[in-house]
Amino acid sequence: MKQTLLQGGVHGIVLLDKPVGITSFVAAARVKSYFRAKKAGHTGSLDPLASGLLPICLGEATKFARFMLHANKSYRVVALLGVVTTTGDAEGTVLSHNTAAHTIDCLKIEQVLSQFRGNIEQLPPHYSAVKHKGKPLYRLARQGIKTERKIRHVSILNLNLLHYSYPYLCLDVTCTKGTYIRSLVEDIGKQLGVGAFVMALRRTSIGNSSLNESITLQALKHLPDQFLKNAYLRPVDEAIVSWPIVWLDDDQSVRIQQGQIISVVEPSLDPLLRLDTWVRLATRDNKQLLGIAQIGHFNAIKPRCLLTATLPVTVL
């Protein structure tokens, strides 16, 4: 299942356990240097104060990084009750203290948590990367400029109370794309009537990828040789491995690689595939991953992103 050095480059996904204290950009740059890769990018940014699972895409895997952004994510979060900060986390300036926070019990917390399970509305934090007229909100906030924020519709798939010992509240959260944990914690604090902010945040999964499968920067740096590093490279198509595969013959493969739209008949194409469904393209003979496409009318295969390196397709 691993991806190795191919065509003079490194291609695959590294499941990194990002440490606290660095940005996701810095983490990706370090992984890139350790693998001596030509390209690198991360999927789903983590703030410097957050740690945990951060998939780093190398080489051709960067072409599929955007699809991992759509996956559900899970977090372990520690919140501090009774305090509100400017940023919603421990980096911000304290705005208020509420001495009544010590009266909150587990029963009250469970009652409030039930209000946040399922589909909810959120306002992104002022200190976030969401843009307003082309500028990130956090830059405007640092200048003292408060802008109107658009409501987001997100889903909280799982929200469990793991532990509570005043003033610390530990939660397990699984949510959809675009959810801000800081906003969730602040809103829970408001409903409790005492305020709250994020003390610590650790991402535990993205889609089917788990923190248990990850490696730290420190461990990666001290692996003795490139071959051992390659053992931590996962397939370039891991983020889209659930997509169906359309198998192509030699002539179809050539035409696809030239960017042409082709028509495929059964049994290569599942008749149940809907219009605009995303699929992976692979050669029937040598099981080479060619790229990705969408289904058009009359079984048309429309190539959307093609690979330049020779890489195997992942078959479940």
Q: Annotated active-site positions, please?
A: 47
Q: Please spell the DSSP secondary structure of 127-175, one letter per residue.
A: SSS-EETTEEHHHHHHTT-------EEEEEEEEEEEEEETTEEEEEEEE
- Cβ pair 37, 58 in contact under 8 A: yes
Structure tokens at 124: 């992104």
**Degrees, nearest 5: CA angle 16-22-28:** 45
Structure tokens at 210: 């788990």
Residues 274-277: contacts with CB under 8 Å, at least 24 apart: 277/244
Q: Could you give the CA distance from residue 312 to residue 56 in angstroms, rounded to a whole number?
A: 19
Q: Could you give the CA distance from residue 288 to residue 145 in angstroms, rounded to a whole number?
A: 52
